[in-house]
Amino acid sequence: MIIEILYPSSCNLFGDRGNVLYLKRNLPEAAFIETGLNDEPYFVKNEVDLIYLGPMSEAMQMKVRDRLTPFKERIKHLIDSDVFFLLTGNAVEVFGKEVVDKDGSVFKGLGLLDINCQRDMFKRKNNLFKGKFEDIAVVGFQSQFTVTESREKGLFKKIYGLGLNLLSNYEGVRKNNLFATYLIGPILVLNPYFTKKLLSLLKVDKETLYLEDEVIKAYRMRVEDFDRVARKQRLS
Amino acid sequence: MSQIRFYLTLFIVKSVIRFMKLLGFNATDTPGRIALILCPDIIGRIKLPNTVLAVTGTNGKTSTNNILSQVLRNSGYSVIDNAFGGNINSGIASCLIQHCDLKGVCDYDFACLEIDERSAGKIFPYLTPDYLICTNLQRDSMMRNANVEFIFSILDKYLPASTRLILNGDELNCCQLGKGRNKSRTFFRVDLQKDEVCRDNIIKDVTVCLECGSDIRWDFVRNHAIGQGHCVNCDFGSPECKYIMRRREDNKLFIETEGIVKQYPLVGFRIVDYYNQTAVVSLLKEVGLTDEVISAGLENTIIPKSRFEEFNINGKKIISILSKGMNAIAVSSSFDVIEKDKTKKSVLLFLDDARDAVKSSELISWIYDVDYEFLNDENIRQIIIGGKRSIDHKVRMLMADIEAEKISTSINVLNMVEHLDVKEIETIYLLFDVYNVPEYKRVSEKVKQLCQREVA
């Protein structure tokens, strides 16, 4: 199995490196290729099983878009060929159509996903999210300047939290095997059951996750804590 | 009309401050908040001290401002500062109101104000510092500060053009402040020290050229992209520095200014202390103080105890470090200090944000930016983690290959000490968050009692 991590030193704002670390521990046989911002991505000339891209600053979004634009057709082909992608935080915006800022500026994405975003740099949205992936409860944090309108399939069915936008029933976007979520940080560590599911979709035969007992214990405590906060906020 | 409102606000808020003090409360934010409601431009209406010095930046601003105000006081100047903790607009307003008379005049030589970088837009339109130190602009709590570029854009947008900037020349983000606008930008840096071990941290806030996106060629990176580097493609890079901390010898710090090296009494032994002290010396020399006055002022200057405290109980050292939870760089720096200490150690960590635990559920992403690998050290015999997020920290530690047998967790912070075995231990580190000070005091007391009992 070959996993390519795109621009890990520049696109790792919120401890998202934890996802890569956890994948490495769970997939000791896999080859992990870390591509620097000024290197040609490995996927351009080679087959890969999973491509990971984490969140980045707004200026970095432009740089990443510019680096990936020459390979747009190749990326489209990979998405259409069911290659796995995992995009976290605002990485999805690079693959989307555009981000319109409140100040009038427009960031044009690669246009590979049918999503449009609105950005307000003076309104940061921090919130706890809970949703479902099939029958699995997924929890995580959103911390972003944008809200998104999507014509793509949703990734997580929203139970509470912002999701793509307040009115949306979903968080994240799924297109074939491209999984894009606004959840930030080590979502794979935070969500062991989802990670197991993802690994099974990747056809990895793994009965027990790395540090499964501890990770599930932390997950259960977190779900309980999130629900407590959600109940409190609803009551107030 | 607005003048009447101003004087009335001063009168009311000064009364509030007096009343709060009578009740034993510290007049931190609250009086300022009231003042800003009653008179939103009050900061701009108060007549400021003769010279206004400000300190901002992600890490080190409290310590730097504290050193600055101590040196000036030790040198006989009258100084006001906001050391009681309010560094946003309401804290600044509280500080000024507390120290001005009923006419709104702050009759002091200097104001030393620590300013929260995020609050620049609410402070600088009303208050123009004569000099401003920026210690660094680094990754901080993501919920508040998003990312470094975002904080830079706020600070740079509101910085008054007439303010003379004293910038950390070893930190490429803050070096860009006021570029092409502020006439006076002076840089300081700290040389790589003899035998200094540079750390390869997980996160680096400057990974490529901020101008063209090309790679950076680093002469050295001390930690977290603090160092000297230049773009391989354009002229972007570390600036020429006027003040350079060259070396430390015993209790002296040697700082070079335009080719002349002078020695100053040492305030703290960590690299971050060198930065803070060099920033202060640079600023004071720019203000016009002589080396003799600065040296005399530094002689009795100490790092505030709330940040770094050391006790010795019958041969066992207890070292407390305020480590700012949710700030991966601050916590990694503390781990670095621990790792460099070669004694037999125990580490007690309680970094949960107590405020956040009440209002929400604490974001734990930042712990994957922290260099827990530094704690994978054979001299560390025990690591005890306290708080609701202790299991998350444990998972992260196990991913850093720290032996599971060394790690204990305790949801209740006050029970952490029950796991502590000090028999073979020479040094005990207590790392706590800025919002956990009451718990820290209780835990610290329990550790001291345990050490005393052990020796007895």
Q: For residue range A139-185, list pLDDT tens digits in order.
A: 999 999 999 999 999 999 999 999 999 999 999 999 999 999 999 99
pLDDT of residue A236: 47
CATH of A2-235, one of 3.30.360.10, 3.10.20.740, 3.40.190.10, 3.40.50.880: 3.40.50.880
Domain boundaries, chain A: 2-235
Entry field: residues in chain B = 456
The Cα B266–Cα B269 span in angstroms is 7
Residues of chain B with pLDDT under 70: 1, 27, 85, 305-306, 355-358, 455-456
* Among B108, B241, B110, B261, CA closest to B170: B241
* Helix pair B271-287, B61-74: axis angle to 10 deg: 50
Instruction: Say whether residue A221 is in contact with chain B using an 8 A CB cutoff.
Output: yes
Closest-CA distance, A48 to chain B, in angstroms, reads: 25
Instruction: Say whether residue A114 is in contact with chain B using an 8 A CB cutoff.
Output: no
* Among B327, B367, B368, CA closest to B139: B327
Q: What is the mean pLDDT of chain A?
A: 95
Chain B residues interacting with chain A (CB cutoff of 8 angstroms):
139, 142-143, 146-150, 153, 202-204, 207-208, 213-215, 328, 359-361, 363-369, 388, 391-392, 394-396, 398-399
Instruction: Compute the average pLDDT of residues A96-112.
Output: 96
Instruction: Say whether residue A111 is in contact with chain B using an 8 A CB cutoff.
Output: no
Closest-CA distance, A148 to chain B, in angstroms, reads: 18
Q: Which residues of A touch B142 (CB under 8 A)?
A: 13-14, 143, 184
DSSP string, B199-237: ---S--S--B-TTT--BEEEEEEEETTEEEEEESSSS-B
Domain boundaries, chain B: 2-299, 308-455
Q: Which residues of B touch A59 (CB under 8 A)?
A: 149
* Among A135, A133, A96, CA closest to A114: A96
Of all residues in chain A, the one with the smallest CA distance to B203 is A9
Instruction: Say whether residue A209 is in contact with chain B using an 8 A CB cutoff.
Output: no
pLDDT of residue B356: 66
Of all residues in chain B, the one with the smallest CA distance to A229 is B360
Higher pLDDT, B207 or A3: A3
Q: Which residues of B touch A211 (CB under 8 A)?
A: 395, 398-399
A212 SS3 class: helix
Q: Using CB atoms, which residue from A18, A25, A126 is nearest to B368? A: A18
Q: Using CB atoms, which residue from B207, B395, B396 is nearest to A9? A: B207
Q: Tell me whether residues B388 and A225 touch, CB distance under 8 A.
A: yes
Instruction: Say whether residue A31 is in contact with chain B using an 8 A CB cutoff.
Output: no
Instruction: Say whether residue A236 is in contact with chain B using an 8 A CB cutoff.
Output: no
Q: Tell me whether residues B142 and A13 touch, CB distance under 8 A.
A: yes
Q: What is the CB neighbour count within 10 angstroms for residue B124? A: 21
Instruction: Say whether residue A228 is in contact with chain B using an 8 A CB cutoff.
Output: yes
Closest-CA distance, B394 to chain A, in angstroms, reads: 8
- What is the CATH code for B308-455? 3.90.190.20
Instruction: Say whether residue A10 is in contact with chain B using an 8 A CB cutoff.
Output: yes
Residue A5 clears pLDDT 50, i.e. is over it: yes
Residue A5's contacts (CB-CB under 8 Å, 6 or more residues apart) are A20, A32, A33, A34, A35, A52
Q: Which residue has the tokens 């607005």?
A: B2
pLDDT of residue B147: 87
What b/e sequence results for A166-181 when a residue is b if at least 16 CB atoms lie within 10 Å of its CB, and e otherwise? eeeebbbbbbebbbbb
Of all residues in chain A, the one with the smallest CA distance to B401 is A25
Q: Which residues of B touch A10 (CB under 8 A)?
A: 207-208
Instruction: Say whether residue A33 is in contact with chain B using an 8 A CB cutoff.
Output: no
pLDDT of residue A59: 93
The arrangement of strands across the sheet holding A136-144 comes to A31-35, A2-6, A50-53, A84-88, A178-181, A170-175, A153-160, A125-133, A136-144
Q: Which residues of A touch B327 (CB under 8 A)?
A: none
Instruction: Compute the average pLDDT of residues A123-152.
Output: 95
* Helix pair A58-68, B148-158: axis angle to 10 deg: 130
The Cα B411–Cα B413 span in angstroms is 6
Q: Which residues of B touch A16 (CB under 8 A)?
A: 365, 368
Closest-CA distance, A40 to chain B, in angstroms, reads: 13
pLDDT of residue B280: 98
Residue A235 clears pLDDT 60, i.e. is over it: no
pLDDT of residue B200: 86
Instruction: Say whether residue A16 is in contact with chain B using an 8 A CB cutoff.
Output: yes
- What is the CATH code for B2-299? 3.40.1190.10
Segment B212-249, tens digit of pLDDT: 999 999 999 998 889 999 999 999 999 999 999 999 99
pLDDT of residue A183: 97
Of all residues in chain B, the one with the smallest CA distance to A23 is B399
